[in-house]
């Protein structure tokens, strides 16, 4: 999705500017065309040479803006060139200028000379961020549908304050940019509530042993990100997952459910509020029949472990579906993946299913990429070649939107 895409990065004057280096480097390595602008304040934290080296292209400053050595005004060229723009870190000063349409440097003039979607990633001290004037400017800017936000998170700030104001991390920025390049900034899921489950479940024999699987939940995080970026409200029911991975779905309501039974209860509880339900979790099929509250001595573990079935979450929610709801499943398969996926689609009365081949390179559990064949109840199918899991999530949502009526 990033190869040959034209991405313009505006860097503001804040210590979080160092995070932009990873963003620019990753984009360039992925084949994107990257251009970087630095405000005067940004140059006090990071040099144009650093960003130029990472972008494989000269970085621009206000000195370039005021030089008459361009065949056209630089801000016009950059504004018309960009497919998407990001401003990170967005300072209180630049935010105020955006809110009131002011333009007194290269960055703000380029914003006004462009029409592409713009991603905003604020960063500042907690007290600065919470000032009424700053919050008023933030709310005003977001009324313009060109602007897409990555609101600051909470944590230890450079001033040693603990609170809101920490700029979004590079993976969040990269995912949001990838989404904007796919959608063009269209929020076509706005007003929709998506209920998504993800991650593997663990069915315990005793406090330290369980039946599980190698699912990391990355596909579900990508599904949540794509939905959030397209304007949806998201509830994410997840198994045991890495906190850093869950942080990438900031903005989703997150509910931990580590076993099939707890996940089943959580999904049933939240189903009535959902427009779409996406079953992306790798839920165990069976559990040990007997659970022991203390750790079993090795000698006491039975040679033949009695097993019992666990709730079939997708099938059960299908029987409780409301008329307007869309149910979307996943089928991780080996060999010929379409027949078993289509059988699952029909048997569980789903609207769409994603068949992905876990026996193909880079397509199994735990990776950052995936490939699939999308199938719907009408018999249509669409292949998605190997790509990022975020790209697959967007292709899935495109498929559902194109092949169903959403009222």
Q: Which residues are catalytic?
A: 159
Rounded to the nearest 10 degrees, the angle between the axes of helix 218-229 and helix 170-183 is 60
Helix (H), strand (E), coil (C) string for 66-87: CCCCCCCCHHHHHHHHCCEEEE
Q: Measured between alpha carbons, how far is 38 from 317 in angstroms, rounded to an integer? A: 51
Burial 339-375 (b: 16+ CB within 10 A, else e): eebbebbeebebbbbbbbbeeeeebbbebeebbbbbb
Nearest to 83 by CA among 150, 190, 3, 187: 3
Q: How far is CA 168 from CA 21, 62, 139, 250, in A?
A: 13, 26, 18, 10
Measured in residues, the chain has a length of: 407
- Specify whether the CB–CB gap between 177 and 27 falls below 8 A: yes
Task: Give φ, ψ of 224 to 5 degrees.
Answer: -65, -45
Q: Measured between alpha carbons, how far is 315 from 225 in angstroms, rounded to an integer? A: 25
């Amino acid at each position: 999705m990033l190869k040959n895409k034209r991405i313009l990065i505006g860097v503001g004057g804040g210590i979080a500017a160092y995070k932009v280096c990873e963003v620019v480097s990753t984009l360039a390595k992925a084949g994107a065309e990257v251009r970087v602008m630095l405000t005067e304040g940004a140059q006090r934290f990071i040099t144009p040479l650093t960003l130029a080296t990472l972008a494989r292209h000269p970085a621009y400053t206000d000195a370039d803006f005021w030089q008459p050595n361009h065949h056209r005004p630089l801000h016009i060229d950059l504004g018309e060139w960009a497919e998407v723009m990001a401003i990170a870190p967005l300072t209180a000063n630049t935010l105020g200028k955006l809110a009131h349409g002011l333009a007194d440097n290269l960055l703000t003039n380029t914003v006004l000379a462009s029409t592409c979607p713009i991603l905003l990633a604020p960063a500042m001290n907690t007290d600065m961020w919470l000032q009424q004037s700053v919050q008023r400017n933030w709310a005003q800017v977001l009324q313009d549908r060109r602007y897409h936000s990555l609101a600051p998170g909470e944590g230890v700030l450079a001033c040693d304050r603990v609170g809101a104001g920490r700029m979004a991390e590079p993976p969040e920025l990269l995912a949001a940019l990838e989404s904007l390049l796919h959608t063009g900034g269209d929020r076509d899921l706005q007003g929709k509530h998506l209920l998504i489950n993800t991650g593997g479940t663990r069915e315990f024999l005793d406090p330290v042993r369980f039946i599980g699987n190698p699912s990391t939940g990355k596909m579900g995080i990508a599904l949540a990100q794509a939905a959030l970026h397209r304007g949806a409200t998201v509830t994410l029911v997840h198994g045991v997952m890495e906190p850093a991975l869950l942080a990438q779905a900031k903005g989703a309501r997150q509910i931990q459910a580590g076993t099939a039974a707890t996940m089943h209860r959580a999904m049933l509880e939240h189903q009535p509020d959902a427009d779409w339900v996406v079953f992306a979790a790798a839920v165990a099929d069976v559990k040990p029949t007997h659970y022991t509250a203390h750790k079993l001595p090795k000698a006491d573990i039975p040679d033949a472990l009695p097993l019992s079935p666990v709730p079939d979450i997708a099938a059960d929610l299908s029987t409780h579906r409301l008329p307007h709801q869309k149910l979307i499943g996943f089928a991780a398969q080996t060999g010929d993946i379409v027949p078993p996926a289509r059988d699952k689609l029909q048997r569980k009365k789903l609207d769409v299913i994603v068949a992905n081949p876990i026996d193909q390179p880079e397509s199994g559990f735990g990776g950052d990429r995936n490939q699939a064949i999308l199938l719907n109840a009408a018999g249509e199918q669409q292949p998605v070649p190997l790509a990022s899991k975020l790209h697959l999530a967007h292709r899935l949502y495109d498929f559902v939107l194109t092949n169903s009526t959403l009222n």
